Structures are given as C-alpha cells and as structure tokens.
Amino acid sequence: MAIRALIDYPSDILSRPCMPVSVFDGALSELARDLADTLDAAQAAGLAGPHIGALVRIVVLRPEPGQPASVYVNPEIAWASPERVSGIEGSVSMPGIRETVERAAAVRVRFATLDGASREEEAEGFRAACLQHEIDQLDGLFWIERLSRLRRDRARRRHAKAVKTGTPPAR
C-alpha cells in the first residue's frame, strides 16, 4: 500500500484509453489499495488508474468520506437515464479548476470485482456523476472535454497560469 504520485494535466496519459484488466491477482489488489490510499491523500471522491499512471480499467470511488471505498474493474455504462443534471466537477490532475458539467442523472454500471466476479450497480446523483467522470477518464476523455470550447479554453488558461505562477487559481 502506497500513496502514488498524481499525473498532472496536460500529460498525454490522461487522454489515452485504458486496457481492460484480464488478470485478477495480487498485483491488481495492490493497485486498488494504492489508488484508495492516493484517493484519501488527495481528498478526492474518485480516482482512476490513469491518475497514477496505470493505463488499466480500474476505478476507486469514495464519494462520501468515512464510507468504504468501492472498486470497479473494467467498468462500463450499461444504461444512462435520458434525464440530465449539472454539477461542479474537477480533477486531482488539474487542481483548483472547477466547472459545471452536464451528465446523466442516473446510470447502471457493469463491472468486475477484484476477484473477477461480474456485477452491476445502479447509481444516481453525485455517485452517478463520479462513475461517469471516472469511466470517461478510463476511455481517455479528460473531464474538461465535456465543456464548451470557451469554458474548456478558459479552464486551460487558468490552469496554465496557476502552474506558471505556482499559485492555485481563484475558485
């Protein structure tokens, strides 16, 4: 178990699709523990493999502090509600940048557990948004790609300025 270094935007790792997990072993469990430790250290709600440089389809989610972390291996959205909701999102790979993103209000996700068992889970609200956000990351779609061109460019400029000056952007 270890806290891993986070990959910073605009690394190309964050825009590369991840490979499906085919071996369910101790190394996968260790990766899940590292993701959970890193998630806690970053005080994030969710973390996907690419955030720590692992280009495999694994997500660790803890949208409510104090609750146990959930691990999703090879997650995919099986169904998304037609109803849309907007919420504030950001990423540990682009700290301090937050924007409103529109997503499905509810989803059904198919995934495997760490031992390879198939599961499905329905989620709505914040948990649904977290799952969609992290599955996008596994598909190589960094969250700002869900923004309009104007808002995406603004987020990139704010991030670049923060990196250059060493100060977090205004929220």
The active-site residue, picked from 89, 124, 134, 145, is 134
Residues in the chain: 171
Backbone phi and psi for residue 62, each to the nearest 5 degrees, phi listed first: -145, 75
CA–CA gap between residue 162 and residue 80 (Å, rounded): 35
CA–CA gap between residue 119 and residue 131 (Å, rounded): 14
Residue 83 appears among annotated catalytic residues: no
Q: Are 124 and 110 in contact (CB under 8 A)?
A: no
Q: % helix / strand / coil in the chain, to the nearest 5?
A: 35, 30, 35
Residues that are catalytic: 134
